[in-house]
Amino acid sequence: MSSLKFIAISGTTDVTENLYIYEYGNDMIIVDCGVGFPEAEMYGIDLVIPDFGYIRKNAHKLRGLIVTHAHEDHLGAIPFLLKEVRTPIYATKLVAGFLEDKFAEHKIRDVKVNVFDPQRDTLTLGVFKVTPFRVSHSVPDGVGYAIDTPEGRVFHIPDYKFDWTPVDGKPFDIAKVAMLASKGTLMVASDCLGATTPGYTESEMEIENQIERIAKDATGRIFFTTISSNISRMQQALNVAKGLGRKVSFIGRSVETKAEIARNVGYLNYPGDLVVAGRKAARLSKNKVMYIISGSYGQPGSALYRVAHAEHKFLSADPGDTVIFSADPAPPGSKANVDAVVDRLIEIGANVHYYDMQEDLHVSGHGSQEDILTLFALIKPKYFIPIGGTIRHMRAYKDLAVRMGAKQNSVFELKPGEIVEFKGSQARKTGKVDVRDVLVDGLGIGDVGNVVLRDRQKLAQEGAAIILIQVDKKNQRLLNDPQVISRGFVFEKKEKGFLIGAGKLLGAEIRKKKRVDKRVARNVTIDFLEKYFYKETGRRPMVLPVIVEA
């Protein structure tokens, strides 16, 4: 007999990389497929994506991928999945627009996103009947799903809050959810990121007043930055600029592209003469322009980074200009980059308003404790699965569920790959899918593992010593003392005597061998110099022998 399986491929112990599977018999659907962001020690890594191994193995069961909203940690890995497995994709208008732009960027053709209206449409995907409903989040056009399965109705609701005055005017569809939940709920898988935060999460609408307060006092240019998918925040900046008689220019590819997509599908509204091209805006009086600019995470090479470092083609930040950061530095390692940009802008003489100033320029898109309790009361599920947070958020979520009367064993805190199985209104953990983080480095996908990362970390921290060795191939002997070249290990000019001495000592060590070939020279070099360098300097550079046979 078949049972319903919920598989958390990733997205439970980390805030990112959301990918969840519902499987029953020969039918399987995926909810979301997002990227993760590299930790500081992941040198050279661009993105982290989920492990698609289980999906590849069961591709014949796959009936579709449904997407909840337009953030990268929920949709950014879809192009990588499509390069391995093709499947129908279902999303709202704004999400579909963002995805189609991604597909063009990745040169993925012949993939159509099926657009649904969450107010009236339902989806039939194998044995699963999926009913979407609107939720409030920091990006518009987000949804949750009620999924009818042979074992009962489940709700999947990542990244939500109860915002009754959202910027797009479309609040959480609480009436539809109440109606859907009235027939009973087997399980809810829902956002736990705000489970440690008391109260309700504030409305996005409050931010517009703060932006206006700062902008009113600005006498120079205004640079406004937020994450490029935060269309609601862009709309608020546009509203403020219009009210103050300033023209607006979008700067940075990601901001320009997403703003155009959002306007085309009706989620960004402004009169045609409000927005002008960047070069035209640069010629306007400083007090007559606002730039909505990419780079809120301080990304090197982003438009705001280049402005701060006087590297932009036609824009610069001058003393008296105002810079507004309306985003928290959320991805791992991003705060150091943002701090550096903020410091540079302050040094220039700009008036910088950023996350540390407590000016309410950012509110979370995630429900706090009272939002979570409200959802539990609304849906009344038998079982609970926290998603989209970390270990501590899952435990706080469990505590909230127990406070509402749930049994301790009705809340499943899942590690990546773990499976919960539902059969006859009962649920239990039944195993684990083998998963790993897949690292994206440039054009390479999954070809960088722990060994490569350890090497990169060692190079970054200790440097490298390159050893040039000449071997007489015929007589199998060393021709002369090896030459030691330092890269990031010691200052070569100052320590030239030390490096020459190391080469002489290494040469004497190699000559102790009766026969010297490439293998012997390599092994002796690494073994001897690793110990010698540590003894003399306390450092362990990467020793890289380069052996030439003459």
Q: Please provide the DSSP assignment of 311-365 as one string.
A: -SSS----TT-EEEE-S---STTHHHHHHHHHHHHHHHT-EEE-GGG-------S
Task: From residue 384, give the alpha-carbon distance in Å to each of 137, 389, 447, 465.
Answer: 21, 14, 36, 54
Q: Out of 137, 353, 362, 366, which one is annotated catalytic? A: 366
CB 246 within 8 A of CB 275: no
Q: Out of 191, 371, 441, 481, which one is annotated catalytic? A: 191
CB 471 within 8 A of CB 545: no
| E strand residue ranges, 68-208 | 89-91, 113-115, 123-125, 128-134, 143-149, 152-157, 185-191
- Token pair, residue 238, equals 């546009």
CB 186 within 8 A of CB 152: yes
197 vs 193: CA distance, rounded Å: 9
497 vs 294: CA distance, rounded Å: 49
User: Contacts by 532-540 with C-beta closer than 8 Å and gap 24+?
Assistant: 532/502, 532/505, 532/506, 533/465, 533/489, 533/502, 536/498, 537/490, 539/462, 539/463, 539/489, 540/458, 540/462
367 vs 198: CA distance, rounded Å: 10
Q: Which residue, among 382, 442, 444, 390, has the nearest Cα to 413 in the 3D structure?
A: 390
Neighbours of 81 (CB within 10 A): 20
DSSP 61: G
Neighbours of 253 (CB within 10 A): 13
Amino acid at 475: N
Dihedrals phi, psi of 534, to nearest 5 degrees: -65, -40
143 vs 154: CA distance, rounded Å: 15
CB 489 within 8 A of CB 539: yes
181 vs 381: CA distance, rounded Å: 9
Q: Is 191 one of the annotated active-site residues of the chain?
A: yes
Dihedrals phi, psi of 342, to nearest 5 degrees: -60, -45
Q: Which residue, among 176, 115, 175, 170, has the nearest Cα to 146 in the 3D structure?
A: 176
Contacts of 176 (CB under 8 A, 6+ apart): 133, 134
76 vs 352: CA distance, rounded Å: 30
Q: Is 339 one of the annotated active-site residues of the chain?
A: no
Q: Which residues are catalytic?
A: 191, 366
